[in-house]
């Protein structure tokens, strides 16, 4: 079972470069999320989407962009990479909101270093 | 805004020891509470959850009780194993935000030594 698949697993970027982190899920989930995990800081929500064509900002959206053209894919775009964006990025998905039996399923993460 | 505070790590215990990882929260609504676990090299996965006061979530020998009066959701296990070594995250979802998002604590790294 694939679940949530993130690519790449590791990447080194130079300051000012751009890249797209890919995320795909095969569970037909409506909700998708991007988090970043900094050492000692827990996970911070960057952007999320409650369905195709709908996206919304989380706590730390600056420097990132997202799109959701299909239910399966939720790419995260970094336009001008900065050292402050060095982090581990996690994509997650869920069937719906978290008030019931719904749980979030996470990818294995992308470790990004900006030098 | 909403926030989750976990006990600082790392925590190192001997096998078969009793485990407690403290978690307290601040929320504008009446949240649902969760513990997620991250094993080395993997993404997070749900360990247990509770959706209303006095509910007890349990899984794999772990338990946590939703205490509204103390705004807490402490994780406990009576006898830990080496395979429990992981990072544990407390989290909440707030109905005032449609329960659409999870707010996480900083995580607690647990190491169990044989």
pLDDT of residue A6: 96
Q: What does the pLDDT read at residue A2?
A: 75
Nearest to B42 among A40, A41, A108 (CB): A108
User: Which residues of chain A lie closer than 8 angstroms to B106, CB-CB?
Assistant: 40-42
What integer pLDDT is reported at residue A101 of this predicted model?
60
Q: Is the pLDDT of residue B98 over 90?
A: no
For chain B, percent of residues with pLDDT exceeding 90: 75
The band of A18, judged by pLDDT with boundaries at 50, 70 and 90, is very high
Cross-chain CB nearest to A99 (options B93, B106, B107): B93
Distance, in Å, from the CA atom of B12 to the CA atom of B24, rounded to the nearest integer, reads 21
Q: Is the pLDDT of residue B23 over 70?
A: yes
| Residue B56 touches chain A, beta carbons under 8 Å | no
Q: Per residue in B72-92, pLDDT tens?
A: 999 999 999 999 999 999 999
Q: Is the pLDDT of residue B8 over 90?
A: no
Angstrom distance (rounded) from CA B24 to CA B8: 12
Residues 15-34 of B with CB under 8 A from A: 32, 34
Mean pLDDT of chain A: 92
Asked if A2 reaches chain B (Cβ–Cβ under 8 Å), the answer is no
pLDDT band with cut points at 50, 70 and 90 for residue A99:
low
Residue B41 contacts by C-beta under 8 Å, 6 or more apart in sequence? Answer: A108
Query: Is pLDDT above 70 for B43?
Result: yes
Contact across the interface for B43 and A108, Cβ inside 8 Å: yes
A53: left (phi over 0), alpha (psi -120 to 50) or beta: left
| B45: chain A residues, CB-CB within 8 Å | 105-106
Tokens 């993130």 belong to A6
pLDDT value at residue A1:
65
Q: Do B46 and A103 touch (CB under 8 A)?
A: yes
Provide the shortest C-alpha distance from residue A82 to chain B (in Å): 23
Percent of chain A's residues with pLDDT above 70: 95
Task: Work out the pLDDT band at A21, boundaries 50, 70, 90.
Answer: very high
The pLDDT value recorded for residue A95 is 84
Measured distance CA(B17)–CA(B88) in Å, rounded: 17
- Percent of chain A surpassing pLDDT 90: 81
Residue B100 has pLDDT above 80, yes or no: no
Q: Do A7 and A110 form a contact (C-beta atoms < 8 A)?
A: yes
């Amino acid at each position: 079972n694939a679940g949530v698949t993130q690519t790449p697993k590791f990447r080194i970027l130079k300051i000012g470069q751009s890249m797209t982190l890919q995320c795909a899920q095969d569970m037909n989930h409506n909700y998708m999320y991007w988090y970043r995990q900094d050492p000692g800081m827990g996970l911070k929500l960057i952007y999320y989407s409650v369905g195709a064509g709908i996206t919304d900002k989380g706590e730390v959206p600056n420097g990132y962009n997202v799109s959701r053209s299909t239910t399966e894919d939720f790419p995260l775009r970094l336009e001008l990479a900065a050292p402050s964006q060095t982090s581990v990025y996690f994509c997650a998905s869920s069937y719906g909101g978290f008030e019931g039996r719904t749980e979030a399923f996470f990818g294995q993460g992308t470790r990004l270093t900006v030098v | 805004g909403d926030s989750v505070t976990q006990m600082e790590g790392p925590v190192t215990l001997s096998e078969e020891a009793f485990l407690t990882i403290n978690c307290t929260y601040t929320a504008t609504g009446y949240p649902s509470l969760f513990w997620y676990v991250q094993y080395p090299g993997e993404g997070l996965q749900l360990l247990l959850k509770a959706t209303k006061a006095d509910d007890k979530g349990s899984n794999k020998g772990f338990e946590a009780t939703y205490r509204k009066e103390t705004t807490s959701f402490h994780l406990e296990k009576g006898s830990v194993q080496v395979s429990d070594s992981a990072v544990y995250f407390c989290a909440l979802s707030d109905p005032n935000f449609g329960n659409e998002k999870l707010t996480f604590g900083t995580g607690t790294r647990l190491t169990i030594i044989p």
